[in-house]
Amino acid sequence: MTTMLADLKHLQGNSVRARVQRFGGNLAGMIMPNIAAFIAWGLITALFIPTGWLPNAKLALLVSPMITYLLPILIGYTGGRLVHGQRGAVVGAIATVGVVVGTDVPMFLGAMIIGPLTAFLLKLVDAYLVPRIRTGFEMLVNNFSAGILGGAMALGGLLGVGPVVQWLTRIAGNGVHSLVNSGVLPLVSIIVEPAKVLFLNNAINHGVLSPLAVAESSKAGKSILFMIETNPGPGLGILTAYLLFGPRTLRPTVPGAMIIHFLGGIHEIYFPYVLMKPRLILAAIAGGAAGVGTAVITKAGLVATPSPGSIFAYFAVTPKGGYFGVIAAIVVAFGVAFVVGAALLGFGRAAAAEPEAAAASAEVPPSAAEIVPGQRISRLVVACDAGMGSSVMLASQMRKRLEPYGVTVEHKSVNEIPMDAQLVLTHADLASRARGRVPDAVVVEFQSFMGDPAFDRVEAMVRDGAEVRA
């Protein structure tokens, strides 16, 4: 194990991309566990507001309290829990109440700031006080320290953080409206689409766009910002181009990826296909921009975040009378991404000459795994950026494969991999973060979510009672 750790030192997660992914993962980590609450609010809004499917003044009374209090407090609670467990969650929720009181915009950004900050301060306080507490006074000191700090931060949120975040939110909202009115909003795809395939999709959507979109939706009843990152059209277009014109060795994996992407809403499934042919990022940008442009022209928007980005989720949060614009944005994005992707793939002319290259691109990198005799593997952790999408899908696959060997398979966010993890399976673009999180574990990288040789390698290790040396 000492030799293995020495081999891993140069692979710790300290690259610029790993740091950006980690920061974005922390933002998304406050939103993703609460997506069900966002969906509940979105459905109630779509159904019962005056312009909804079933207008009802009494039931619509739920809309404002949920967006004003429930959702920000859940975010602050979750952010605090990520930093300092249950005690951090409680003080994070207390402090979040301070930022939501007295403001007229949803305080998602304020909650994402003050929740983790308060928990971090309590962590420092606990580190100082706990060793100095006399026996029998633990509960008294712990409760009062958390209560005093939480109350003080709530006052600070009310007087300081809340007004500042409200001002910033209004500036950002005005900027978005300016982009829409000037017709240049589609240009954001130049930033969003490349960032997505680097596994920053959750950070962009849930950390940046969704807070602004919810603020707009609460006033206008819908927001185009919900559609910028989540549109399944570009990914479906690229996968279709791969199916018809991509390397022949990869084509059998594409139909399953298309179903998982478009119907299941797990967009990470198509990222490796773009990374294997980086020029296809131009197809993603073109498709994304075309979809956003179509949404601008048709004045389309959604009432809440479609998470996961499935076509079914899209339809569930489409406002009454808004289906034409939403469907048009998806269809146009698909068509443009397909045409551009097919052209970049040479309409299949180069496919016959690429089987070796395509196969090589799907192999496990040299640093990923070597089977050597050793300790029996009893636990596998499958990690993705948020721990709720691609890792769930892949964990289900690996669980079926490893069940006969009695191996426990679990899925986690790459930021929450257990410190005692024995073996971690993650995408190559997240591997450095995984190694930085659990330097004592063996991290196996894969390139494709469908049929990657690394999955067979892991099964062979388990079957043979072997362990991996990275």
Closest to 92 (Cα-Cα) out of 18, 34, 136: 34
Conformation bin of residue 330: beta by default, left when phi > 0, alpha when psi is -120 to 50 = alpha
200 labelled catalytic: no
* Amino acid, single-letter form, for residue 465: G
By CB neighbour count within 10 A (0-12 exposed, 13-18 middle, 19+ buried), where does 16 fall?
Answer: exposed
Instruction: Indicate the length of the chain as a whole number.
Output: 470
Residue 5's CB: how many other CB atoms inside 10 A?
11
Q: Which two tokens stand for residue 386?
A: 């948020």
Residue type, 242: Y
Of 203, 280, 384, 438, which one is the catalytic site residue?
384
Q: Which residues are catalytic?
A: 384
